[in-house]
Amino acid sequence: MTKPLLALLFCCLCLTSNAQIAYENAYFITNSGERIDCLIKNVDWKNNPDSFEYKISENGPLEKGLPLNVKEFGFSDGTKFIGTKVKIDRSSDLTEKLSYEKQPDFKDEALFLKVLVEGSAKLHGYTQEGLRRFYLQMGNDAIEPLVYKKYSTDDAIIRENVAFRQKLLNTLECNSVSNQEIANIKYTTKTLVKLFQRYNKCMDSGYEIERPEQKKTKLNLWLNPSVTSNNFKVSNGLETQYTFDFPSTIGLRLGTALELVLPYNKNKWSVFVEPTYQKYTSDRQVERSFNFSEGDIFDASITYSSIELPVGVRHYMFLNDLSKLSIEVAFVHDFTMNSNINIDQTDDLTIDSNENFAFGIGYVFKNTFQFQIRYQLPRNILDNYVFWSSEFTTLNFTLGYRLL
């Protein structure tokens, strides 16, 4: 059953490689000061980019912008980065990777800094995994680091170098900015942006505070009826005549999915939980093949119903404004209800709850309709028995509708 899914997944990835990429109207400024309007691949960077891809026209060749040759680039929504050479301390902020040195270990690097606040006092930011740094620029003066560093002492006590507060006290002098406020300010985007905006407003009564649209998580509620192909195999390690496959069946299942679309990387990632009711019944006759006379036949049947609870991660790949593909992986916990296997001349086998993993691909249209194929790896629903084991696998075909 895995072969059809793998083939579909391969086709999905091939389509993705040729899918339309969202290039947005943007601009960049060269080191010589020339402004060039272009189309830039906007991936809504969670971290600062090391470079960006752009085209001068829709059908033009793809080119790359680097901090060494680009002074600035930005988008129509106001998002802006500047290319510059600055001092940066890359000591990790993660507790398990803290340095033992109080002072920053500066190195000169060419970087793209994100412009967080403009005005007479500018605030720039740089973010990477486990690293966040802020920079101060007064007017057109040189860009200076705002020093904050967590470090560990020899006796494993975590301390902080908060030199950035003194720098702000010496620089942002205005009636609306109190020394007490700066003395207690935190090294976060939210608090520093508010401080710089208030200082700029103090220095220029005509200064307008930009309030960019806040990126928020989006909540989707899906109704997901499915057609499913079920396969089940039972095995006994002591008596091989009790190792056989039940006939494959086609069934229906019904689920609802709660999906949380994350507010970065252009809404390409989401997490979901999808409670689903499923029921599988099958029966067959089996000819005994060991220590029994030829032609001896016994009956076997299974009744298996449960609530499955997949919890997973999904990645979207946009084809155009109306369509997108998705790939996903989920951990599935199964809650059984009055389920058992009956085999002649043996005690009934009680089916127990267990877990497995699922992988899927899908297509979404207008963010309202979705078609999805999901394959579940074999689940052993006789895990509590010593000599009995089983493999329950499903291939689900879902046509979903977004309710919310």
DSSP 312-366: EEEEEEESSSSEEEEEEEEEEEEEE-S-EEEETTSPPEEP---EEEEEEEEEEET
Task: Categorize the per-residue pLDDT at 290 as very low, low, confident or very high, splitting at 50, 70 and 90.
Answer: low
Interatomic CA distance for residues 104 and 87, integer angstroms: 10
Task: Categorize the per-residue pLDDT at 17 as very low, low, confident or very high, splitting at 50, 70 and 90.
Answer: very low
Mean pLDDT, residues 88-103: 90
Task: Categorize the per-residue pLDDT at 20 as very low, low, confident or very high, splitting at 50, 70 and 90.
Answer: very low
Contact between 310 and 274 (Cβ < 8 Å): yes
Name residue, tokens 């005509």. Answer: 206
Question: Residue 264: its pLDDT value, please?
Answer: 77
Tokens at residue 327, please? 């790939």
Mean pLDDT, residues 13-33: 72
Interatomic CA distance for residues 300 and 284, integer angstroms: 6
Residue of higher predicted confidence among 269 and 238: 269
Return phi, psi of residue 240, to 5°.
-70, -20
Mean pLDDT, residues 388-404: 95
Contact between 234 and 382 (Cβ < 8 Å): yes
Least confident of 35-44, 203-212, 276-285: 203-212
Interatomic CA distance for residues 377 and 395, integer angstroms: 9
Task: Categorize the per-residue pLDDT at 390 as very low, low, confident or very high, splitting at 50, 70 and 90.
Answer: very high
Interatomic CA distance for residues 97 and 111, integer angstroms: 23
